[in-house]
Amino acid sequence: MKIEEVKTKTDSELTYELDKMKKELFELRFKSRTAGNASPARIRVLKRTIARVHTVRHERAKQARTPPRARDKVT
């Protein structure tokens, strides 16, 4: 999932997607440790997408905490 796609989703959609991706990542890690046939590329993609989701959620929380005056200032 690209960052543009992540930014268009709502917070509840992001939470749902994040839970789903974390579960898939857990299963892939478990597979790689036991059977050794999990795709390293898929693990890498999942980790990056999870990081993107966390970044967008943090940006939104930070934006909500910022006072209106500070948001409107142009430097």
pLDDT digits (tens, 9 = 90+) for 26-59: 999 999 999 888 789 999 999 999 999 999 999 9
Q: 31 vs 35, 47, 53, CA distance in Å? A: 5, 16, 24
* Domains of the chain and any CATH numbers: 3-65 (1.10.287)
- CB contact at 8 A, 22 and 49: no
Question: In this predicted structure, what is the pLDDT of residue 21?
Answer: 97
* Rg of the Cα atoms in the chain: 16
User: Model's pTM, two decimal places?
Assistant: 0.80
Per-residue DSSP letter, 66: S
Alpha-carbon gap, residue 16 to 7, rounded angstroms = 14
